Chains A and B, each alone.
Chain A
Amino acid sequence: MTSTLLEARGVGKRFGGVQALKDVSITINQGEIYGLIGPNGAGKTTFFNVLTGLYPRDGGEVLFAGKPLNLSSPHEVAKAGIARTFQNIRLFGNMTSLENVMVGRHVRTHAGVVGAILRSRSEREEEDAIRRRAEELLHYVGVADRANDLARHLSYGDQRRLEIARALATEPKLLALDEPAAGMNATETAALRVLIEGVRNDGLTVLLIEHDVKLVMGLCDRVAVLEYGEKIAEDVPAVVRADPKVIEAYIGTSAH
């Protein structure tokens, strides 16, 4: 018995005259790894940005955990339980790895200015808890040995992992990864795959945009394909792979 975690209905997005997303509807089930693929410029990242509140949408709605998702601002989306990473890694470069993850705890903690100035007991306890959780997450993604290094000094693969740790710090139900394997070598990709599977086994749902078709097909339970802002397929990998429309989108037709 699977239950729906996220349901996007008829999501649209225009940039001036360009219809970047046309009526995109997808359904992500609880506990699955859901892949979103498509050729360059198909609207995958745009969909991500609409889904996480970075872009205002033009029509459509998103239900998350049975409730309409407030897409008015990104922090509301994070609060509702969707955390994301970025295609071109966006860490707080001049903060340490630990601090980066600690920032992710912001949305689940409460200390304000007064608490910070008075160093009240509850503030100190919360601060300790933030630090402990951040350390755990650094261990979890495997960059604990770089905890006190500036994020910008980490290797590319470690930066990707750190960004995932920061996203996990917000206690998401859905972890949305935008091309996490981009620029990774084979070893790093293999390790990433283990990490993503681990995240799923810990009860989270994963939405994955990826170019690496092998990774997507091997990892995802279901896959949707976007082309020119429209969904052209959504099914288990084996079916999608054989879909003529998908093959056409990726390889092109032989003759016109």
Chain B
Amino acid sequence: MNMLKGRVGLIMLGTALLILPFVLGMAGTAWVRITNFAVLYVLLSLGLNIVVGYAGLLDLGYIAFFAVGAYVYALLASPHFGIHLPFWIILPIGAFVACIAGMVLGAPTLRLRGDYLAIVTLGFGEIVRIFMNNLSNPINITNGPKGVNLIDPFHIGPINFAKTDTFAGLDVSGPIKYYYFLLVVLMVVIVINRRLQDSRIGRAWVAIREDEMAAKAAGINTRNIKLLAFAMGASFGGISGGMFAAIQGFVSPESFILNESIMVLAMVVLGGMGNIWGVVAGAIVLAFVPEVLRYTVEPAQMALFGRTLVEPEVLRMLIFGSALVLTMRFRPAGFWPETRHKREFIEPAEK
């Protein structure tokens, strides 16, 4: 009975996800784009969840891996170098390069924990961004602050992801195609996350988070296992970055500022560290709320006062910030906490 219920629920959710872009499309293609970015945030949060949620390594520079993936895609599929590789070659390259970047960050920080690690990773994130900004001299690699333009969209056979095609009388726009692609990637990433969580490696990550010294004494090579967490998390970031570059058609360093790292971390923490579904929920809510506010704040003021009293941007961030504070006050373990974490926060250790 329960099984049947679960299956019906799954089918309903699946159907909803399949028709979602067409429903949103009625409100405007912008909403499909916003949904796509929300899915990208979900992917990023799931990647960061491996580092922060499972292994307990506080990473404040995670967006750097997203940037690496985005730039790898931009440079290998744009007129900038005149290279135009297909996406299914570039995405794995992006994941690989990001993975290497993850290990480059991981290796010197292995002895650090908590706030110290946070500061180093924050610095790393900024270094990557500043590199992107300045690697236009003497050899122009990244095109500096101007960014890389005219990035190729995805192509699968005759289907171009930048154009609208008609399938069986249904207009399928570019963002809708990306939506379905992202959905498939998301499902794969969720499956990977779940499997890792219940594996020998996943247990080792949690053991390190719980007590590093005990983990060592129990025979875990903490150095390698931590590097693995950084590398896995970074690879997810790299793949997401590549998709971001293709969807956007343009990348520049200002997309990868510290705020973005903090945003992704907020999604993980708010949703519920270590719990895949919590992280997914956190990312979706935090990605959508600012956009919804963006579209409602100004009309609401016009209707109430007849003019705009507070700039929408200011009010948007104010509401957003207060919502974060309130959530942390009343649900400190996140919307949907991992049961282990919930217990930890609600009844503090008696030690």
Contact = CB atoms under 8 A, between A and B. Distances in A.
A95 B217 contact: no
B202 A86 contact: no
Contacts of A109: 200
Contacts, number: 111
Contact of A103 (B195, B203, B344): B203
Interface in A73-116: 73-75, 78-79, 83-84, 86, 90-95, 99, 102-109, 111-113, 115-116
B218 to A, nearest CB: 5
B217 A123 contact: no
A250 B195 CA distance: 55
A166 interface: yes
A107 B220 CA distance: 6
A127 B201 CA distance: 11
A92 B207 contact: yes
Interface residues of A, number: 43
Contacts of B223: 73
A1 interface: no
Interface in B202-253: 202-204, 206-207, 210-211, 213-223, 228, 232
Interface in A238-256: none
A170 interface: yes
A215 interface: no
Given A75-B219, A113-B232, A116-B195, A95 B201 contact: no
B192 interface: yes
Contact of B218 (A54, A93, A103, A119): A103
A150 B213 CA distance: 19
Interface string B308-348: 00000000000000000000000000000000110110000
B216 A74 contact: yes
B188 to A, nearest CB: 10
A91 B221 contact: no
A106 B204 contact: yes
**B-side interface mostly:** helix
A119 B219 contact: no
Contacts of A116: 195-196, 199-202
Interface string B45-56: 000000000000
Interface residues of B, number: 31
A193 interface: no
B203 A102 contact: yes
A91 B195 CA distance: 24
A106 B216 contact: no
Nearest to B217: A74
B222 A111 contact: no
A130 B219 CA distance: 15
A76 B223 CA distance: 12
Contacts of A130: 200
B220 A75 contact: yes
B200 A92 contact: no
A52 interface: yes
B304 interface: no
A109 B210 CA distance: 21
A200 interface: no
Nearest to B221: A75
A126 B219 CA distance: 17
B206 A92 contact: yes
B203 A106 contact: yes
Nearest to A74: B216
A112 B204 CA distance: 11
A95 B210 contact: yes
Given A78-B219, A103-B207, A94 B202 contact: no
**Which of A105, A108, A109, A116 has the most chain B CB atoms closer than 10 A to its own CB?**
A116
A119 to B, nearest CB: 6
Given A92-B215, A94-B340, A102-B203, 5 more contacts: A95-B210, A104-B218, A105-B200, A113-B228, A113-B232
23 contacts: A75-B216, A75-B219, A83-B219, A90-B214, A91-B211, A92-B207, A92-B210, A92-B215, A93-B344, A94-B206, A94-B340, A95-B203, A99-B203, A99-B206, A103-B204, A103-B218, A106-B204, A107-B220, A111-B199, A111-B200, A116-B195, A119-B195, A150-B340
The 8 residue pairs across chains A and B that have the minimum distance between CB atoms: A107-B219, A78-B219, A116-B199, A92-B210, A90-B214, A94-B340, A74-B216, A103-B207
